[in-house]
Structure 1
Amino acid sequence: MRTIPVSQVKPGDQLAEDVLTKFGSVLFRRGQRMTAREIEILDAFLIPSVQVLDEGEELPVSVVEPEPEPTVSPFQEAFDRTVRTLKKAFDAVRCGEPIPIGELRGNLEELLEHIGEYHILSPSGEKDRKKAEDAVWRSSVEVALTSYQIAVHLDEISERERVQVALAGLLRDIGNAKLPLHILEKPGKLTPEEMEEIKKHPILGYQLLQPIAALNRGVKLCALQHHEREDGSGYPMGVTKERIHPYAKIVAVADVFHAMTSDRKYRKAESPFVVVEELYRQSFGKLNPKIVLAFIRRVTDLQVGTTVQLSDGRVGDIVFADRREPTRPIVNVGGVFVNLATERNLYIVKVISRSPTP
């Protein structure tokens, strides 16, 4: 095994170690034999040198370390605790008892201390071990965290207000606690009559939160307005952008994203990248464009180094993400660079693993 400058790499040379880009993603795997095209790619990515095997040398067998027992991170503990308290809040409403706002806020503030561990593309982690009936609660906590991260990118939302924005996301659907369980838990699509019942939850939520002095006006209006749209096509009031509170505009974006990227009883989850494209389309009239762009920036920040599956079944690592087209990065598939910005028939359907936090 020897290290040589890229200028000395010849077709047929076999890599002894993985070659990484400056972003830390894998460009070529150990064991791959170089071709003229792959040597050009090494030059294009300004790779100074690589390790190759000597002639006749065998690739050393990798020693696989035993995986440690899974541990629950402080983020996951705080996340699960917030989920449990949110369920308690809904139960309290159904029993006619006060909503435990102080406990909810305390749990949320503790969770926000670990916001750096939250990733929109793989938000709550370990979803497979969660019971299916917890999905709605996890989604509400994810909406709260995503709303907080969007607020960080908006100058008009002060640092002090960010927790209130997160609380608005957490409590946006509290009105559902006043709806019949047979509608909320129906396994199939709702009838038009049932949908009209569901559309009452914003008003019911606003009525529940209105007397609570510990909540500011934005949190209460968010419960009422998070399904309103800038062109007046939303519900329950059909108001236009001038009358929608900023908190509700933020939470609306997070709510649409998590609704579309979560499994439902009557449909499968969409790819987050496909959903971002849909959000971008909705920013022309329905959702606030500035807030959508702030959200897209957050998604784009997480792309480079992420392993994804394309619509044709191939798997590769994102090596470049253009903020102008955040859902259409360049993906390295076994040394072949697929530019989704030009190959419009392809798209990302699944995130296999996210890039490590810098």
Structure 2
Amino acid sequence: MPSISVAEVKPGSKVSKDVITPLGGTLFTKGKILLPRDMEILEAFLIRQVDIEGAEEDAKVLEAPVTPSKGDAKTGTASAASSLTRSNSNLHEEYDKMLTLIRSCYNSASAAILPIYDLRSALEGLIAHIKDYHVLNFAPRALNEQDYIYHNAVLSALTSYKIAQWCGYPQKEWLQVAFAGLLHDIGNAKIDSSILQKPEPLTITERNEVRRHTTYGYQILRNVTAINEGVRLAALQHHEKIDGSGYPLRLQGSQIHLYAKIVAVADIFHAMTLERIYKKAQSPYLVLEEIQKEGFGKLDPSIVQTFVYKTTELHNGTKIRLIDGRQGEIIFSDRSNPTRPLVSVEGRIINLAHSRNLYIKEIIS
């Protein structure tokens, strides 16, 4: 059947050609059987014509999704929820162990050698549950703003590991990249806590002292065994920028170690989405948009693109809360505009790419 008006398309029809959004993203692929809600999605993306194949009778059996019986649905949901709870519980337990250990390391970093083998063992235990870690919606069980720096370390370790995987770097590098995320801010152990916890704006002198955490970190890690030079350089260089505007050495492009480029992205994301004494947590989706902007000249663009694409992938059905307080769920993520998916709210589909005043404030589940 040739291209027909969306108004004439019936649920159960089969798409004979990829449906492309005005921005060039693939909305539906060839062979997709259109369900009732897909009609609203087509309208939301302002699609006027769709290529449909075959007789409608061939597809009517798929006009609507099969609804399981109440008993089956309840059993299936309970089973899945139980499995998910166990997985998340294991991840949280290892996370809490790692958090306790890294807090201890910060408290003794100035006076003692880092217990690197204990750190490695704890990190391996944490990474064993990496499949249960989702960057956008993982939340520690106990978040204390006083502990921001320790949470940032553990979360940056997990996220840096994920980025190394996503970017296709050799597997032998992944744990070292996680170490780089874990220890990137260890130099803050030498900064007066009254400065780090200060709720008011820092003076120029205090700001310069905070910036020294990069060199302090390299000094702490310089003679530590079982980590490679990339981990040490990540501590030194994670605030460098591709255009040379960063610190402490104003390095550019290829002068910055790959680990530092990865950790920079993870650090910025968690620094902006965690609650701090002097700064409120921001929406993860808005932070991703800020990171995208930083990808032009400040951060490594290929790492940024991969990070944004992967973190927003496979989130259809995710429960969310919008900035206006309404709850809903993600029903479609346009890969050409990944931070602004289609959401279903109160029975209405909203395309966040068109409603720029709205955005996802938080992931609920």
Asked if Structure 1 and Structure 2 have the same fold, meaning a TM-score greater than 0.5 normalized by the shorter chain, the answer is: yes
Establish whether residue 317 from structure 1 lines up as the match of residue 329 from structure 2.
Answer: yes
Is residue 2:57 matched to residue 1:41? Answer: no
2-side partners of 1:74 and 1:224: how far apart? 33
**What residue is the counterpart of 1:139 in the other structure?**
152
Q: Could you tell me how far apart the structure 1 residues matched to 2:362 and 2:126 are?
A: 27
Over aligned residue pairs, what C-alpha RMSD do you find?
Answer: 2.7
Q: Is the 8 A contact 2:146 2:277 kept in 1?
A: no
Q: Secondary structure of the residue that 2:364 maps to in structure 1?
A: strand
**Distance change in 2, residues 1:124/1:345 (3 Å):** closer
SS of structure 2 residue aligned to 1:301:
coil
> 2-side partners of 1:317 and 1:259: how far apart?
26
Partner of 1:251: 263
| Superposed counterparts of 1:96-245, under 5 Å | 96-126=111-141, 129-155=142-168, 157-245=169-257
Does residue 82 of structure 1 match 2:94? no
Runs of 5+ in structure 2 lacking a partner?
Answer: 1-10, 13-34, 42-61, 68-73
- SS of the aligned residue for 1:73 comes to helix
Q: Distance in 1 between matches of 2:143 and 2:323?
A: 27
Sequence identity percentage: 44
The letter of the residue matching 2:91 is F
Give the gaps of 5 or more residues in structure 1. 1-5, 8-38, 52-61, 354-358
Aligned 8 A contact 1:118 1:124 in 2? no
- The corresponding residue for 1:17 is none
**Cα deviation code 1:313-346 (max 9, x no counterpart):** 3221100001211111000112211011222222
Structure 1 residues 221 and 48: CA distance shift in structure 2, 3 A: same
Distance in 2 of aligned mates of 1:349 and 1:256: 17
Answer yes or no: is the 8 Å Cα contact 2:146–2:197 preserved in 1. no
Residue 97 and residue 40 in structure 1: after superposition, are their counterparts in 2 closer, same or farther (change >3 A)?
closer
The correspondence for 1:300, drawn from 291, 295, 312, is 312
For the 8 Å contact 1:79–1:124, the answer to whether it is kept is no
Q: Is the 8 A contact 1:305 1:318 kept in 2?
A: yes
TM-score (norm 1): 0.78
8 Å contact from structure 1 (residues 226, 248) kept in 2: yes
Q: Which is richer in helix?
A: 2
Report deviation, 1:47.
4.5
Instruction: Using the TM superposition, give the Cα deviation of residue 44 of structure 1 relative to its aligned residue in structure 2, in angstroms.
Output: 6.4
Superposed CA deviations along residues 74-100 of structure 1, whole A, max 9, x for unmatched, are 211111111111111112213x11111
CA distance in 2 between counterparts of 1:173 and 1:229 reads 17
188 and 47 in structure 1: CA distance in 2 versus 1, 3 angstrom threshold: farther
Task: Give, in angstroms, the shift of residue 265 of structure 1.
Answer: 1.2
2:347 aligned partner: 335
Residues 291 and 42 (structure 1), Cα distance of their counterparts in 2 relative to 1, 3 Å cut: closer
Report how far residue 302 of structure 1 moved: 4.5
Alignment partner, residue 91 of structure 1: 107
